[in-house]
Amino acid sequence: MADNVNQAARKGFLVDTARCIGCRSCQVACKQWNKLDADKTANQGTFENPRDLTPALYNRIRFVESETGGTVNWQFVSERCMHCGEAGCMKVCPSPGALYRTKDGIVAYNKEKCISCKYCVSACPFNVPRYDSNDKVSKCHLCTDRVSGGMAPACSKACPTEALKFGNRNQLIAAAKAAKKTIYGLDSLGGLGVAYALEGPPEKYGLLANPQIPTAIFLWKDIIKPLGILGFWGSIGAMVLHYVTIGPKRIEEDVDNKGENHG
């Protein structure tokens, strides 16, 4: 069951894996638009680079290698936040507005409201959220800034083969169905905002066959989180009470300044 998502207005991607040539223009365009620093990497015997998402890499192309008769074959799989219709990250986040749903159905975020708890990492079935040097959540925001201005996401615009089709989710899926494509992400997790057209089972592409939000998250959302919020406000109240009755606490000169700034 999707969170409060207006399915008719929902925007997203249809990733047509058969069209992807692994050029990684999408990776570069995302870095440029979002002014993200380069990631330092090392050759690890594969053309896939970088090998994982980072706080400064919101999308990447995963190279799925196989060998037939001495020839290496590749499948290129675009990897990023799936903008789930039922988003584990949003369910578990204790800070209102840190992760939020736009009117287009995008799962966006506000770093200023992120309290660095990292709960969203455990709640994401796709291991997507990363944390920047300020310990704030970092991931694909489906170019909310561009989309709200009527533009296509930077990665989609840069793709030379139309492997990243952006638009109204219902229409993208209807077109893929009409073309008799196997669609990944149709119904799972309230329908993924990033659906895939595949030519085989999801496992062949390294995609989870049945992605699910960990059950413990529902326990957190329905029981522990409300208690936690009570506890949080209780702590604030106790601090205010301490301040007005006893005065400010003096901090020892032992400030931890180990964070680096990558942008």
Contacting positions for ligand SF4 (CB under 6 A):
20-26, 29-30, 33-34, 58-59, 61, 76, 78, 80-84, 87-89, 107, 124, 126, 128-129, 139-143, 153-155, 158-159, 161, 163-164
Comparing CA positions, the residue from 92, 107, 64 lying closest to residue 201 is 64
CA 74 – CA 24 distance, rounded (Å): 14
Closer residue to ligand SF4 in complex, CB, 70/87: 87
Determine phi and psi for 191, rounding to 5 degrees: 85, 130
CB of 251 to ligand SF4, least distance (A): 35
Closer residue to ligand SF4 in complex, CB, 14/164: 164
CA 62 – CA 76 distance, rounded (Å): 6
Two tokens, residue 151: 């533009």
Two tokens, residue 132: 């920047």
CB of 203 to ligand SF4, least distance (A): 18
DSSP β-ladder status, 71-79 and 99-101: unpaired
Cβ-based neighbour number of residue 208 at 10 Å:
15
Closer residue to ligand SF4 in complex, CB, 97/234: 97
CA 56 – CA 91 distance, rounded (Å): 24
Closer residue to ligand SF4 in complex, CB, 21/239: 21
Contact between 103 and 233 under an 8 Å Cβ cutoff? The reply is no
Closer residue to ligand SF4 in complex, CB, 186/240: 186
CB of 132 to ligand SF4, least distance (A): 14
CB of 163 to ligand SF4, least distance (A): 4
Closer residue to ligand SF4 in complex, CB, 158/197: 158
Alpha-helix residue ranges (DSSP H) falling in 80-127: 88-92, 119-123
CA 138 – CA 136 distance, rounded (Å): 6
CB of 167 to ligand SF4, least distance (A): 13
CB of 90 to ligand SF4, least distance (A): 7
